[in-house]
Structure 1
Amino acid sequence: SKQKDKFERLFKGDIAEYSSQSEGDLALCSILAFWTVRNNSLIDKVFRQSALFRQKWDDKHFSDGTTYGQSTINKSIENCTEVYTPKLPSNIEEIKRYFLNQERGDAELLSKIFEEIYLYDHIAQCWLNFSNGVWNQDQENQTLKNAVEKLTKLYLNTSIEVDRQVAELSAEKNKANRERIRQLEDFRDDLRERVRKLNNRSRITNVLKLAESWLPTSTWKFDSDSMKLNLANGIYDLNDNVLEEHSHEHLCLKQTKVSYKKGATAVYWIDFLNTIFSGDQELIRFVRQAVGYSLSGLCDPQALIFCYGSGANGKSTFFGVLRDLIGDYYQGIQIETLLANRFQSSSTQYDRARVKGARMVVSDEVPEGRKLNESLVK
């Protein structure tokens, strides 16, 4: 294929058709974004094996620490409007078997198209989309739009293939082909009529509703492994201290904002800790261990940590950095939610629900004269 030839040239380092290597880098990443279904870590892994890989890939080019390579991958993912959809029926007769089952058949076909990319959470009652190593709730109803586009494209492509077969049979000028030609033409017309119906809201809504049962999941299945941490470039196993590739099978709704880089140092962070803790190495070790332990989902120590100190002592900066680092795993909670109250307001109940799956939950100081709700905190 055209894309195969282009990929092979770029992978071998041939950028003759581009004005700069940066353009070639982006072109290769764009091809990989399509075939890896926008998998950030997999794009990075494959690119590093290509002849285009160079030292510049890991150079930090932005004030937030983003490297040239990560920026290129991010841009390729943003520009990627379509991804590879494997395991689709490959012949007319197979598609016809689904087609004849009406809305159920549409739903089964859609589930094949959506396989490994979409799931329906029957507890949260929403569609989830897998992208860039994490499952995201579809809060803008884009699943409906994608369902129409994918099914429409499949049926239209099938009708084009039917037309091709009709033309071949007609060219043979064999009377024995007449009945087959008539059947194919009828099926082609039915396919185009189905496309028209799929643009009807009630039809596609019914199809999507049926597809929920072919792609089921439940909220409780996500972020359930307390020793796995979903990073921007892979899943970090805290037991074995290894980085695994992202996969749809890792059911993660949460992800950090940073990538793992073996051997990386944090000179400014260490200097900051020495400053706010006045060089107390025992205290610094304790704080680092506490933060590290918080990255797991374990609660074995049954400890609640209080950060005590006067104003302007670095607490806000400290937690701000942690919030930026661990992303979705960090969750703030109103102190009122944790206090002893006779009644729980709806906002308090919502606040409690938001901390599900969080690894680090941070709140404000306890007001004077108030007590924590001990059973809730536990």
Structure 2
Amino acid sequence: MTVTDALTDAGAAARFAERHGAEVRFDHRRRRWLLWSGHRWMQDVDGAITRLALAFARDWQRAALDSTSTEREATVKFTLRLERRDGLGNMLAIARDLKPIADDGDGWDTDPWLLGVPNGVVDLRTGELRPGRPDDRLTMQTTVPYDAAADGPRWSQFVAEIFGGDGDLVEFVQRGLGYSLTGVTTEQVLFLCFGTGSNGKGTLTNTLKRILGDYAWNMPFATVEWNGRGSIPNDLAALVGRRFITASETTDGARLNEARIKTLTGCDPVTARFLHGEFFTFEPAGKYWLSVNHKPVVRDDSYGFWRRLRLIPFTQRFALNPALSDELAAESPAILAWLVRGCLDWQKRGLQPPPVVLAATHEYEQDSDPLAGFLKDMCVLADTAEIRAKDAFFAYETWCVAQGLTRDERLTNTSFGRRMAERFERRDTAAGRVYRGLRKRAS
């Protein structure tokens, strides 16, 4: 007698795994049942695994009733007991540890070039649609099917309007959003959508979130906002596998957590944890699209931060159109096709930000210079002038107090000295260290 013939919980589990092993997985890392649905693996959220187990028990029972085996009576009795809650539970508790059902949780939704859609899988390297396969290991999916030929005139009108008819800017945004379909993070970029209200940026991101389904995530802005603490927020755990990640902030004075942004937009593994859970690492797949009414405060003036940022200006203003959301929703397949075309264009050309984006980003960087206000208000620039380093820092501290800057908002003596040395000649003299090229403004 084989193990699948044994009238025991283990025997039933082995029989279940033999029959349904091709269509059922138990992800031990996330403690979830997954069932194959034709194009992807779907998480069981409504007891589907119990219904499948019950159908398995009843099929076994019917086969036993039709049998002339000497084990007929014992098998019928066993399968009737198997229908009880504890019977099904015991069988599934063992089956989830048996191959091929048992799964260690690695490799789900990790192919950066595959996009799950209701009618199959899109290979983003080519834009081609094909049937999904179990070994794709996809659980995520968009909410709309893929139709490469779908036409969206209302969407084309919308993006042209919100960017003031700037074709280069529209194409850049299309490439950026197309790049955001993938799980690739090689561009290491943060998209910052800036502009006062009623300019279309919320409609843009909300429309895309609705279409991208599982791949989209609305992140609390606090995840990328400076709070003075270095702890790892629970929010990061929700970013696993997400590709199009949005956050919005309408209040003035928010400060970005530059170190966290560098981590999230990089290619290195990210450490996260669920509430009360263990720490784990994951490969980042997300592209971040922040929408702000006011430019966030940035204290990091390093190239490593500013090379990542792309400020997209939203300069138009529109009257409320209650029908717009439904009009765009009607073209959802066309919008998805537009995104895939953007992905293909990005692969050919890169992001290629247009002059308007580069200029807006440069202006933002200049405005964020932590020394700009101090030098303007407290100093006079002159080639032959000098100021002692300690006097310069004292003047800076005095200026910070007058501006109402907190200790966390000010540069330290070391940071101040490093930034001053990057701008001015620094020399050691008998009177101490001096900066050449400026002097303190007369009171």
User: What TM-score range do you get, normalising by the shorter chain?
Assistant: 0.5 to 0.7
Contact 2:14 2:95 in 1 (8 A): yes
Q: 1:148 aligns with which of 43, 54, 60?
A: 54
Q: Which residue of 2 aligns with 1:119?
A: 25
Given that 2:7 and 2:78 are in contact with CA atoms closer than 8 Å, whether structure 1 keeps it comes out as no
Q: Is the CA contact 1:135–1:252 (under 8 Å) kept in the aligned structure 2?
A: yes
Among 336, 347, 366, which residue is 2:222 paired with?
Answer: 336
1:361 maps to 245
Amino acid at match of 1:156: Q
Alignment partner of 2:123 out of 204, 217, 237: 237
Spell out the pairing of 1:218-229 with structure 2 (5 A cutoff): 218-229=104-115
Corresponding residue number in structure 2 for 1:56: none
Q: Is the 2:220–2:247 Cα contact (8 Å) retained in structure 1?
A: yes
Unaligned runs of 5+ in 1: 1-92, 164-183
Alignment of 1:345-360 (within 5 A): 348-349=233-234, 351-360=235-244
Is 1:129 aligned to 2:35, yes or no?
Answer: yes
Look up the match of 1:12. none
Distance 1:192 1:198 in 2: 10
Provide the C-alpha distance between the structure 2 equivalents of 1:97 and 1:121, rounded to a whole number of angstroms. Answer: 24
Give the superposition deviation at 1:245: 0.7
1:307 aligns with 2:193: yes
Using the TM superposition, give the Cα deviation of residue 327 of structure 1 relative to its aligned residue in structure 2, in angstroms.
1.2
Please give the residue correspondences for 1:1-378 in structure 2 after superposition, counting only pairs within 5 Å. 98-100=4-6, 102-153=8-59, 155-163=60-68, 184=69, 186-214=70-98, 215-343=101-229, 348-349=233-234, 351-365=235-249, 367-377=251-261, 378=263
CA offset at residue 111 of structure 1? Answer: 1.0
| CA contact 1:124–1:218 (8 Å) conserved in 2 | no
| One-letter amino acid of the structure 1 residue matched with residue 75 of structure 2 | L
Could you say which structure has the larger radius of gyration? 2
- Is 1:104–1:207's contact at 8 Å kept on the other side of the alignment? yes
Would you say the 8 A contact 1:335–1:366 is kept in 2? no
Is the contact made by 2:113 and 2:125 (CA closer than 8 Å) also made in structure 1? yes
More helix by share: 1
Contact 2:215 2:243 (C-alpha < 8 Å) held by counterparts: yes
Report if aligned partners of 2:119, 2:146 keep a CA contact under 8 Å in 1. Answer: yes
Cα distance in 1 for residues equivalent to 2:125 and 2:158: 29
Cα-to-partner distance string for 1:261-307 (whole Å, 9 max, x where unaligned): 23322211111011111101111111111000100111111100000
Displacement of 1:150 in angstroms is 1.2
Of the structure 1 ranges 219-228 and 238-247, higher mean CA displacement relative to structure 2 is found in 238-247
Distance 1:371 1:129, change over 3 A: same
Q: CA deviation at 1:208?
A: 0.7
Report the Cα offset of residue 343 of structure 1.
4.5
The number of residues matched between the two structures is: 260
Measure the CA separation in 2 of the matches of 1:210 and 1:187. Answer: 23
Amino acid at match of 1:131: S
Counterpart residue number, 1:62: none
1:159-206 CA-partner distances (Å, limit 9, x unpaired): 23314xxxxxxxxxxxxxxxxxxxx2x411011111121023333222
On the 8 A contact 2:112/2:184 being kept in 1, the answer is yes
Whole-angstrom CA distance in 1 between matches of 2:66 and 2:184? 55
Q: Can you list the C-alpha shifts for 1:201-222, whole angstroms capped at 9, x where unaligned?
A: 3332221111112212233311
Secondary structure of the corresponding residue to residue 136 of structure 1: strand
* Residue identity opposite 2:188 in structure 1: Q
Deviations 1:285-332 (A, max 9, x none): 111110001001111111000001111011121112111221111100
Q: Shift of the alpha carbon at 1:139?
A: 2.7
- The amino acid that maps onto 2:105 is T
CA distance in 2, matches of 1:220, 1:366: 38
Q: Aligned-pair RMSD on alpha carbons?
A: 2.1
Q: Partners in 2 of 1:376 and 1:203 — Cα distance?
A: 49
In structure 1, how many angstroms separate the alpha carbons of the residues matched to 2:88 and 2:5? 14
Letter in 2 for 1:117: E
- With normalisation by structure 1, the TM-score equals 0.64
Residues 39-79 of structure 1: CA deviation (Å, up to 9, x unaligned):
xxxxxxxxxxxxxxxxxxxxxxxxxxxxxxxxxxxxxxxxx
Contact 2:24–2:35 (Cα < 8 Å) also in 1: yes
Whole-angstrom CA distance in 2 between matches of 1:116 and 1:151: 18
Give 1:114 deviation, angstroms.
1.9
**What is the CA distance between 1:344 and its match in structure 2?**
7.6
Using the size of structure 2 for normalisation, the TM-score is: 0.55
In structure 1, distance between residues paired with 2:94 and 2:156: 54
Alpha-carbon spacing, 1:199–1:361, altered in 2? closer, same or farther (3 Å): same
Structure 2 unmatched runs, 5+: 264-443
| Whole-Å separation in 2 of the counterparts to 1:201 and 1:113 | 21
Q: Tell me, what secondary structure is at the counterpart of 2:76? A: helix
The secondary structure found in structure 2 opposite 1:220 is coil
My pick for the range that moved more, 267-276 or 362-371, is 362-371
**SS in structure 1 opposite 2:88?**
helix
Amino acid at match of 1:210: I
